[in-house]
Amino acid sequence: MSDGRLRIVSHFPGRLRVRSPRFRDAALADDVVAKLRESDGVHAVTATPFTGSVLVEYDARQVQLPWLVQLVVKLGGLDGIEVDSDGKPIRPQGPIVRGALDRVNSALLDATRGRIDSKTAVPGLLAGLGLYALVFGRRRLPEWYDLLFWSFTAFVNLNPPAAASAPEHG
């Protein structure tokens, strides 16, 4: 574990246990505990300097977990949150998803001889489903107006307007 990082050991709404080597400093741990206890919605806080852990019991209806974790990071003077890793390099998933979507788009273009791509097929499908639900009265989630809205939003996002060309000065 990195010295300047916070590790979330366990969480259940209303109960958060975190750990950092910096919390082995009893004075720092006591200071963090005292300041956390002053926060609204926090019921109890205990630190165990031997293990470097802090246990926070809070009202889950009043306190949001991200805010609480950020507060512990700030009060402890930590660099951020440690993410679990099994030692293997993390492979970015974005290029894999983009590649799969490009293959689907290519297949769609091939099937329609270049007339329809996913930029028009996805919004068109959503619009068709919305109109079908409107006409035939299917009352299932999502509602027809949701589908039509998503269709419009998808079309606008997938087909941005062409950038206006700057006038040329001669």
Q: Mean of the pLDDT values across residues 10-38?
A: 93
Q: Is residue 34 part of a domain?
A: yes
| pLDDT, tens only, 81-119 | 887 666 666 677 778 878 888 898 899 999 999 999 888
d(CA 10, CA 47): 14
Number of domains in the chain: 2
pTM recorded for the entire structure: 0.50
d(CA 4, CA 83): 13
Enclosing domain of residue 63: 5-81
| pLDDT, tens only, 25-70 | 999 999 999 999 999 999 999 999 999 999 999 999 999 999 999 9
With beta carbons less than 8 A apart as the criterion, state whether 75 and 32 touch.
yes
Q: What is the pLDDT of residue 19?
A: 93
Q: CATH code at 52?
A: 3.30.70.100
Tell which residue, 22, 28, 48, has the closest CA to residue 56.
48
Tell me the torsion sign for CA atoms 108, 110, 111, 116: positive
Tell which residue, 134, 104, 135, has the closest CA to residue 117.
104
d(CA 16, CA 41): 13
**Residue 23 and residue 65 share a domain:** yes
What does pLDDT average to over the chain?
84
Q: Is residue 101 part of a domain?
A: no
d(CA 158, CA 122): 9
